[in-house]
Structure 1
Amino acid sequence: MDTRFLKKFTSQQQQYQYFDYAAWLAQHGSTKTAFPYTIRILMEQLLRFAANDEKYNKNLDHLLNWDQNHDQDVAFKAQRVLLQDFTGVPALVDLAAMRDKVIELGGDGKSINPDVPVNLIIDHSVQVLSSGNADAFEDNISKEFENNQERYRFLKWAKQAFENLEIVPPDNGIIHQINLEYLARVVFTEAQADGTLVYPDTVVGTDSHTTMTNGLGVLGWGVGGIEAEASMLGEVTFFPIPEVVGVRISGDLPTGATATDLALTVTHQLRQLNVVGKFVEFFGPGLEQLTVADRATIANMAPEYGATCGYFPIDQQTTAYLKLTGRDAKQVQLIEDYAKANGLWYDPTTDDQRHYSTTLDLDLTQITPSLAGPKRPQDLVALQDLKTRFTAEKPGLTIKMPDKTYDLNYGAIGIAAITSCTNTSNPALMLTAGFIAKKAAELGLAVPSYVKTSLAPGSKTVTAYLEAAGLTPYLDQLGFNLVGYGCTTCIGNSGALKPEVVSALSDSDFPMAGVLSGNRNFEGRINPLIKDTYLASPPLVVAYALAGTLNIDLATDALGTAQNGQAVYLKDLWPDAKTVETAIQEFIDSKLFSTSYEDVLAGNDHWNKLPVVDKPTYDWDPKSTYIARPPFFKSMANQTSTHFGKLKVLGKFGDSITTDHISPAGFIGQQTPAGQYLLSKGVQPTQFNSYGARRGNHEVMMRGTLANIRIQNQLTPDKEGGYTIFWPTRTEMTIYDAAQAYEKEPVDGLIILAGKDYGMGSSRDWAAKGVKLLGVKAVIAESFERIHRSNLVMMGVLPLQFEPGQNAQSLGLDGSEDYTLDFDAASQSASVTAKKQDGTQVEFKTKLRFDTPTDARYYENDGILPMIIREKVKQ
């Protein structure tokens, strides 16, 4: 080991070692104060790598002038991997299948094993099937285990079969809040022969909101399940050296403005700035005003503003939060001492010395109450302007509920949910919502019975402090009863609307609205019957639920009438800042967190009763519709050809096609290919569960690929949903059926044409796996979202980008053409010829988006997983 830059520091009378990148910089005529904190963390890791392997010196040298070297790559290996069950199950299914294949090829099956600590939190499977009543929590848990026994038995097998894997059982909380409150280490320690080495905690997760931990000073981001598997198996990944956008924060939030309003504003402004694929780093005099809970709310939304991460450096707020959440006092002191010794402790006196690619000024005094929607989280709407969104003439809807008959107008709310990691980790937001509920209940206000209300906190700490503050009864009275600890409405696990509402909507195209304290509101995401979805803070969710409509100006309009006949306004319900702060001080302390997490790994009775088989390989059940051995390793053939002679267009799409569109995680309809498959296997519609719950079965997921009810294929402009034209017969059919039909045709494969931001949204591995299994060889788009581009390459699918100013429309491509494709990895280019039905041809160049040194190797191996199998067998 090269120990030239290995230095020592002392913490609590104990000596530690660290790699001093500042000494390395000094040797190269530079100083650490000029570098963003995120670049410093990358630099420290590369210096540590280079001490054992000289090949990383080249990557390290590129960081000296990082803002001029965005065409160069940086090596990265996260110290730990975070999984949730939707994406974690298919990742572990792949590892189980890889074990089988390695054994089949004569290798050691146990070589397929996590190389770094892996935490899987089961939080995505609980659905809001019961709500608005005292039994909702127990009812939903019972149904959760009834629906997911196969998956959970598989996970219990994986827990005993794989080393370095820890599983947090269901009904403890949302992955990112548990990571923030319990799992995140901030720094790692490693015993060495001559001392204890200290270095930064870094993490990648199979959920795009892994960035939430950036609020605690931990550098991390979301990756696709495929990339996470590579990290779990010890692979070093590469990505282009990012631009770093600095956001200078000043001022204080005004009264009435919340961390959610701030996060939505940041999302709007940074989307406009175009930070896709970039690091965002926050600094400035206003930083000290933001608690870690506030910072985490902003950092959580990084995928929504398009950034790889939204990082807040370590400071006093970090250590205060660590102490509050019950972290070991010695560890907290070590974090502070190490961060100060190695230049990772925030130093406001050097703000003007740090260089950023771009700087955005954010004045907190200008933040106003806001929402975002109706289809994208970056579309900011001021509170007072929301009413104007519902002035257009729309047909009304009459709903006969048990208590009364309602005549609804455009803007009427079908779902009001306090949910998601974004906001439920923030005590100020949750307590404010509770106080609003208390005042409303005391005044005799009630939520209209057609509104489905729910409360799904991110951890048990939330219910603990709401209960301690005496606010739970009032939330319950308004219908915001606890429905589960997990990611519910925000990912489409909202359950059905009220039965009377569903019935009334069955013969109507009435645009029912929804409001939730989440981070995603893409079309069709939270519920198939909800058309307009707005993101809002938990307090505003309660307020709009009381009003029963979004067609209201809460700044000026009354949201209800008190028992005494007086009009009630939002300002009458909103607690003053002192009330909320007093509650935080009185009811939230380290004991609350310690108590909430003392049994986090123990599991409940449902979990503990599940049987588990103690063996290193998994017994696949051919009858299972949840868990199936994936087919990715059958042929193990290399992709050596750079020529495709005939490709047909499977789908032609516009801008902002999300991974929700490509690989839905919600409702499975009976008439969909996936629904028809499940029916053929004897599964009743009431047992369909969701796409997310069945991600361990490729037969279901490939049928669900490009099957979202809101996707618009331009090949079938008059029909919304997963349909296409099968060109040999010019027949309209489902995308899955067309893909199957093409397998019998003399074609080299299929392609997808798309617009800007293809693959934006959650880090869904099946968005890439699904198109791979459908026979897609290439996606030609105007631009790609970072994670999805990476996933496509890792599955052996070519990501091709139109040249600037070009797209399918400008080139006159309607999708009926026969395509020929030749690509050259060395020149990062591909030549495409589209032959039209009349014999004319359109020739154009595209950029081959192999963005890292390993992309070509992944593609040649037909994906990263076959590549790893080959390497393990060779070992």
Structure 2
Amino acid sequence: MSSNDSFNTLSTLEVNGKTYHYHSLPKAAEKLKNIGDIDRLPASMKVLLENLLRNEDGNTVTKKDIEAVALWLADRKSDREIQYRPARVLMQDFTGVPAIVDLAAMRDAMETAGKNPNQINPLSAVDLVIDHSVTVDKSSSPEAFEENVRIEMERNFERYQFLRWGQKAFENFRVVPPGTGICHQVNLEYLAKVAWPKEQGDKTWVMPDTCVGLDSHTTMVNGLGVLGWGVGGIEAEAAMLGQPVSMLIPEVIGFRMTGKLHEGVTATDLVLHVTQMLRKHGVVGKFVEFYGPGLDHLPLADRATIGNMAPEYGATCGFFPVDKETLRYLELTGRDQETIDLVEAYYKAQGLWRETGKEPVFTDSLELDLNNVTASLAGPKRPQDLVAMPQLGSNFDLMLETSGQGDQKDKEVEVKGRDFKLKHGDVVIAAITSCTNTSNPSVLMAAGLVAQKAIKKGLQRQPWVKASLAPGSRVVTDYLKKAGFTPYLNELGFNLVGYGCTTCIGNSGPLDEEISKAIIDNDLIVSSVLSGNRNFEGRIHSDVKANWLASPPLVVAYALAGTTRIDLTQDPLGNDQDGNPVYLKDIWPSNKEIADAVSHVNGEMFRKEYAEVFEGDDEWKSIPVAEGNTYAWSDSTYVKKPPYFDRIAEEVPAMKNVNDARVLAIFADSITTDHISPAGAIKPSSPAGKYLQEKGVEPKDFNSYGSRRGNHEVMMRGTFANIRIKNQMLDDVEGGYTCHVPSGEQMSIYDAAMKYQEEGTPLVVFAGKEYGTGSSRDWAAKGTNLLGVKAVIAETFERIHRSNLIGMGVLPLQFESGQGPQAHGLDGTETVSILGIDDNLKPGQELTVKAVREDGSEEEFKVYCRIDTNTEMQYYRSGGILHYVLRQMIE
């Protein structure tokens, strides 16, 4: 703990006869009162302050850092860099496998350098939950779950074998086996403690539970009052190895809630409204903290739903302070009484307990009366694009007009061998899925009630709809069964398909072959409706261009209707047994019906399902585990030793200008990490598909990009390979293509990058606003690095991806405000030099870009170095964050 304690904050707390040591915020307040009244700080800032008090060492955390948090109150913003140390790290398998691959490669590098490889070990608690690998290969059948699990184990055997080795080889590293749940739901329901006890010497310390995670939706746990957010795998690995997370003291935007949700309005509707409001306000890189009397009526599951979607509204986190609702949820989910008592005593002692009527100060604030929230969806390709349910049909028709298909909007297409026709707007995927909503009993019970009422009215799912139920934890199926809803969901085709992300991450599985053919051959714009958080282009399914986020009961409703070109407030879903029209209002449950169903949920369900959470089934236990402290690399197409550390023993080269680079691609606004590094299907004709076929892998066994993240050869070929990405260097071309300028030849981005590497030519990428939005996808930065890109020059960056680029030694540069590639007339044929880079480069420094056109004319403009902190600069100077850590260990 703190080796300096400049503010004499050491204190003790007695709870149930046990003594806990901690650093007291009230004591700090007394010492800091001449600088600022820290009692008025937002709760999330108090958590940061406690972290600094506890880790003050005079080096990474100084007295001035602590005072800077109190000084924040004057301007409610700060440019002070601090070093933050989370209590633990959360991983999922898509991002976790490459993280453990990196640690294994670092062990090899240590051994090569003549050092002890066992020095490479997590120093803080790390939990990896295997939740991203199950795919909806089979659906709408009683055998779907068992069959999908069997296929998952077959496909991912090599990855799971590697993780089993890691589980044995590394200390402080636990793996939750497949078929258990989604990492964020497991975190919320089991892993999180809220007050984190830690044994050190002969003392037991207590501190706020904090975490960083290898998934952007780590923010879900903020609903429980646990400060956490997503970081790239690169940052998380550094945190595991003892490096603090470098950050600026954030602005904190307050979101005041009043009132109560209307009858028939769900937590999903609320979070979609919140997402639209905050994305419009602009909260990238900022904390959001929720407060106000509306929280008194907001269940913790609803808070977690809102916290979960912080990446969608762009914030670092969406924080809810600890209060009596937190304790109620801890009890509901089966936490022991000792934990619950400690949380209450500690948070009250620290002044971190939320009290109605006591409101902190914020950088800025918004307000929402919950009475004004209405039933909504979001889409067709961004989670912040809110559409009120009555407007969905007209919104879809407008989309058809803008896509040039307005005159074709009523065309009907034959589907070979089927007794139905397909039309624009038809729902071909209806998925109750994802961490966002399957953690919330109220919306899942509502889905069960809608299914029950629909069956009793004689309604059925439309035959072209692929339906699935993929909960985030086993507890969900327990309470749906106990409430009696499972038979009705099954009858509508919402059979259990797996416990994992499935459709939301892109693992929606294949559509019926003839349906897929009809869509492609006739250029139909069809829909998916999912209870997820992401609907970016090309993510859900390659055949589906319109993807709508909705509550679980609405997912069921649209499966019944079979189309999104409908107003569910006015148009019937279908007809009952007597031929009478049935409307949504006829099968929509009342709040009392939902509450009665939710009463079936109890702590015993959680205790039973989490009793052996790390054990796994017999198939998991039977996987052979390799021996040894270093990994025995094989010719696996899933797990391959990466080349990042091959030259780690060499001296770090001096930083220098980028001269005569070529442009690999020019992108417009809102390029997501899904565009840069897709997680979904691998096309046989793509560079990654060709590589796998050369290795003897048949297309049916390709699995997904996400599952192949342990193999850099696949992933670098998949960089910028999203089927919907548009490189503005090419006219009317979609997908991962570019022009190799010297030859004038159009080719895949990967092939062009390799050609440039052979020619010794560095590369740059130009982009518009919000570059790198979406998931905390380390491969979006790793792939960029391996393609030879030295700098990405964008109008604005999303937080996580910017830091990931630095973590892989790629320089993020930002255009001056209001400028971009078009403003400077760039078309990608130029040679580009970046001037002003040397060993004295400073965070935020102005640099000059000189672009020379083919006719010899020049364009010069200013850009800003988006390395924001001195610590980030150290990482960049070393070639990346892991290089920095490894060199320190070797030295």
Bucket of the pairwise TM-score, normalised by the shorter protein: over 0.9
Q: Which amino acid aligns with 2:691?
A: Y
Match of 2:797 among 769, 775, 784: 784
Which residue does 2:131 correspond to in 1? 123
Alignment of 1:378 with 2:395, yes or no, is: no
Shift of 1:14: 2.9
Alignment of 1:846 with 2:863, yes or no, is: yes
Q: Which amino acid aligns with 1:48?
A: R
Instruction: Give the secondary-structure state (helix, strand or coil) at the position aligned to 2:55.
Output: helix
Alignment of 1:610 with 2:623, yes or no, is: yes
On the 8 A contact 2:221/2:228 being kept in 1, the answer is: yes
Instruction: Give the secondary-structure state (helix, strand or coil) at the position aligned to 2:91.
Output: strand
On the 8 A contact 2:32/2:38 being kept in 1, the answer is: no
Q: Which amino acid aligns with 1:6?
A: L
Q: TM-score scaled to structure 1, two decimals?
A: 0.98
Match of 1:632 among 623, 644, 668: 644
Which residue does 2:15 correspond to in 1? 11
Q: Which amino acid aligns with 1:842?
A: E
Q: Which amino acid aligns with 2:494?
A: F
Which residue does 1:165 correspond to in 2? 173
Alignment of 1:236 with 2:270, yes or no, is: no
Which residue does 1:683 correspond to in 2? 697
Which residue does 1:443 correspond to in 2? 457
Q: Which amino acid aligns with 1:848?
A: C
Alignment of 1:727-746 (within 5 A): 727-746=741-760
Which residue does 1:816 correspond to in 2? 829
On the 8 A contact 2:130/2:178 being kept in 1, the answer is: yes
Which residue does 1:270 correspond to in 2? 278
Q: Aligned pair count?
A: 868
Shift of 1:211: 0.1
Alignment of 1:13-52 (within 5 A): 13-29=17-33, 30-50=36-56
C-alpha separation between the residues in 2 aligned to 1:676 and 1:462?
41
Shift of 1:579: 1.4
Shift of 1:355: 1.2
On the 8 A contact 1:56/1:75 being kept in 2, the answer is: no
Alignment of 1:443-462 (within 5 A): 443-462=457-476
Alignment of 1:78-93 (within 5 A): 78-93=86-101
C-alpha separation between the residues in 2 aligned to 1:642 and 1:712?
31
Instruction: Give the secondary-structure state (helix, strand or coil) at the position aligned to 2:870.
Output: coil
On the 8 A contact 2:423/2:526 being kept in 1, the answer is: no
C-alpha separation between the residues in 1 aligned to 2:860 and 2:201?
62
Which residue does 2:505 correspond to in 1? 491
Which residue does 1:63 correspond to in 2? 69
Shift of 1:830: 1.6
C-alpha separation between the residues in 2 aligned to 1:275 and 1:506?
39
The one-character-per-residue Cα deviations of 1:282-340 (angstroms, maximum 9, x if unpaired) are 01001011111000000000000000000000001100000010101111110000000
Shift of 1:180: 0.4
C-alpha separation between the residues in 2 aligned to 1:242 and 1:397?
53
Match of 1:221 among 209, 215, 229: 229
Q: TM-score scaled to structure 2, two decimals?
A: 0.96
Long gaps (5+) in structure 2? none
On the 8 A contact 1:823/1:848 being kept in 2, the answer is: no
Alignment of 1:391-470 (within 5 A): 391=397, 392=401, 393=406, 394=408, 396-400=411-415, 404-470=418-484
Which residue does 2:854 correspond to in 1? 837
Long gaps (5+) in structure 1? none
Once structures 1 and 2 are overlaid, which stretch shifts more, 243-252 or 55-64?
A: 55-64
Match of 1:775 among 784, 788, 796: 788
Once structures 1 and 2 are overlaid, which stretch shifts more, 262-271 or 9-18?
A: 9-18
C-alpha separation between the residues in 1 aligned to 2:137 and 2:412?
24
Q: Which amino acid aligns with 2:167?
A: K
Question: CA RMSD of the aligned region, Å?
Answer: 1.3
Which residue does 1:560 correspond to in 2? 574
C-alpha separation between the residues in 1 aligned to 2:737 and 2:706?
21
C-alpha separation between the residues in 1 aligned to 2:663 and 2:438?
43
Alignment of 1:583 with 2:577, yes or no, is: no
Q: Which amino acid aligns with 2:217?
A: H
Which residue does 1:348 correspond to in 2? 356
Shift of 1:506: 3.6
Shift of 1:17: 2.1
Which residue does 1:753 correspond to in 2? 766
Match of 1:828 among 821, 845, 852: 845
C-alpha separation between the residues in 2 aligned to 1:500 and 1:814?
41
Shift of 1:51: 5.7
On the 8 A contact 2:520/2:543 being kept in 1, the answer is: no
Distance 1:401 1:6, change over 3 A: farther
On the 8 A contact 2:218/2:230 being kept in 1, the answer is: yes
Distance 1:146 1:399, change over 3 A: farther
On the 8 A contact 2:428/2:528 being kept in 1, the answer is: yes
Once structures 1 and 2 are overlaid, which stretch shifts more, 606-615 or 761-770?
A: 606-615
The one-character-per-residue Cα deviations of 1:725-776 (angstroms, maximum 9, x if unpaired) are 10111110000000011012242x1000000000000000000000100000
Alignment of 1:143-292 (within 5 A): 143-192=151-200, 195-292=203-300
Distance 1:217 1:516, change over 3 A: same
Which residue does 1:656 correspond to in 2? 670
Shift of 1:12: 2.1
Which residue does 1:310 correspond to in 2? 318
The one-character-per-residue Cα deviations of 1:220-239 (angstroms, maximum 9, x if unpaired) are 00000100100111101211
C-alpha separation between the residues in 1 aligned to 2:554 and 2:472?
18
Shift of 1:54: 7.7
The one-character-per-residue Cα deviations of 1:681-715 (angstroms, maximum 9, x if unpaired) are 11001000000000000000000000000000001
Shift of 1:401: 6.9
C-alpha separation between the residues in 1 aligned to 2:195 and 2:244?
20
Alignment of 1:803 with 2:809, yes or no, is: no
On the 8 A contact 1:639/1:859 being kept in 2, the answer is: no
Instruction: Give the secondary-structure state (helix, strand or coil) at the position aligned to 1:64.
Output: helix
Shift of 1:62: 1.3
Instruction: Give the secondary-structure state (helix, strand or coil) at the position aligned to 2:65.
Output: helix
Alignment of 1:114 with 2:128, yes or no, is: no
On the 8 A contact 2:37/2:70 being kept in 1, the answer is: no
C-alpha separation between the residues in 2 aligned to 1:108 and 1:629?
19
On the 8 A contact 2:182/2:435 being kept in 1, the answer is: yes
Which residue does 2:875 correspond to in 1? 858
C-alpha separation between the residues in 1 aligned to 2:836 and 2:698?
47
